[in-house]
Amino acid sequence: MPGPLTTAPAPAPAAPVRRLPGRLSAPDPGWSTRADVVVIGSGIAGLTAALRLREHVEKVLVVTKDVLAAGSTQWAQGGIAAALGEGDTPEQHEVDTLVAGAGACDLDAVRVLVGEGPEAVHELIALGARFDVDATGLLALTREGGHHRDRIAHAGGDATGAEIQRALIAAVAAAPDIEVVQHALAVDLLLAEDGGVAGVTLHVMGEGERDGIGAVHCRAVVLASGGLGQVFSQTTNPAVSTGDGTALALRAGATLRDLEFVQFHPTVMYLGPDSRGQQPLISEAVRGEGAFLVDHAGDRIMQGVHELADLAPRDVVAKAITRRMHETGRPHVWLDARHLGAAFWERRFPTILATARRHGVDPVTEPIPVAPACHYASGGVRTDLWGRTDVPGLYATGEVACSGVHGANRLASNSLLEGLVFSRRIATALPGELRPWAEPVPDERPAGLVAGSVRPRLQEVMTERVGVLRSAAGLADAAEVLGGLAGTGAGLVDLDAWETTNLLTIAAALTDAATLREETRGSHWREDHPERDDARWAGHLDVAMTDGATTIEHHPAPATDGGAGR
């Protein structure tokens, strides 16, 4: 596991030390089982890891919080990015990724992603995923924000994630040596005497003899639990995305990196001022096919803002929309794609078309009301190039991980590719370093829960103060509110309290990191520090927890190429 990146002093101010639950307050397990490897999560990252690991270990157990298809992968509309087209190269994909990442990418990780990406996509196709093809039978590739080439492979027009999920679930169903536990929340890791993985506790809901709290004793855990979108009031993430894996890893001793880099998707359908939770995503691919953003006066929003106009990187577009909303006092802007025509909409974006019509908007005849909403966590559990964390036996992949490929702002459609590539790498490394079976030691970490009833207030303050535009004053307000929510769950032991405790843990760490980073970089925008990509802040912010106390350190590093001129 890499250590500090350089010896340069950390900039002021010092981040506060927070006290949060070191473990969730769970009763003694009522049942137990064993597996060599437990994979937590059932999206592209988790199922890819499980399918490849089963070839090398005796038993793989997949844990998913809902049903196998309920995670973020099935909602991915745009597609999966890789240098698959004529004239495109991994080197060109690398440049676009670095520019979007605004100097915070790990260059080696990016080169792994773009170099191994094409082969990984072809393996996915061989597994049974059916991507759209053109009249000649070649992959039909499109373009999204931040890309200078058509390199987005898609399926079913705008149902890429659903098709990938279908293919992976079918492959798992045909693999009898993969056991699946559905409707199960991963509560906490069980740790061995050396601080490494000895197992994991689960809360299983409605699954017969394994109902309630149980323990899986194992030799390794692969976290593939997805994102943290439910920290905010509006998000494209499904309801299960409450940061459980990220919080579990932090409590167990893993390092979280770059949490402040939360990407807000610029074009999420606006459903009204009272709408909360998962909101309909209007894929960036719609703009890739020629749609454009306008305000209520009909003026183009992105003209003159960036050389790529409506296809600028997501952070640039989200900020431009938010500023225009502030200037006009309007709660949304418009995405105009009427000129694409009914036939094109029905062929290329049938899912988005049906969703918009279900909410009373026909994109064929009227513009779509859109506003930014939380979409993707570019940071997460710090890993090396093989998915290892700094907890022995704990690996992380997909959105829950910070592999270094996304930097300060994920390039469009690199997310599915990251889960695919780094899960393959974990399956290569893990079998050769599988830990011996170990007994868990008594858990002395301070326990505690937060009442589920405080979740709306937490989401509200995070959206208002730690959203697209941030400032010291707003972040201080958020920190004060979050501090007041701790310790409200005395005597509670239920799913809502566990999820809300995870949300508070991640919200507090995210707010502290956003407070410490006094610059504007990628998806982190400080109104009181508008300097873009300040060289003093090149590097990473790492959050750690010891006995319930969190600390943050700045690890300086040379900036990678990217972000100049924006």
**How many Å separate Cα 393 from the centre of its chain?**
22
Instruction: Copy the structure tokens of residue 98.
Output: 């670095």
Instruction: Give the residue from 505, 501, 544 showing the smallest Cα distance to 203.
Output: 501
At 170, which amino acid appears? A
Cα Rg, the chain, nearest whole Å: 22
Would you tell me the crossing angle of helices 244-252 and 495-516 to the nearest 10 degrees? 70
Instruction: Copy the structure tokens of residue 20.
Output: 């949060």
At 138, which amino acid appears? L
Between the two ends of the chain, the Cα-to-Cα distance in Å is 33
- Contact indicator for 420, 119 with CB cutoff of 8 Å: no
Query: Cα separation of 160 and 156, whole Å?
Result: 6
Residues paired with residue 265 on neighbouring β-strands, in sequence order = 373
Query: Cα separation of 388 and 382, whole Å?
Result: 8
Residues paired with residue 532 on neighbouring β-strands, in sequence order = 520
Instruction: Copy the structure tokens of residue 115.
Output: 């170099």
- Which of 54, 219, 287, 314 is catalytic? The answer is 314
Tokens 């407070």 appear where? 515
Instruction: Copy the structure tokens of residue 130.
Output: 């059916």
Instruction: Copy the structure tokens of residue 188.
Output: 């906490």
Give the 3-state secondary structure of residue 241: coil
Q: Is 314 noted as a catalytic residue in this protein?
A: yes
Q: So which residues are the catalytic ones?
A: 314
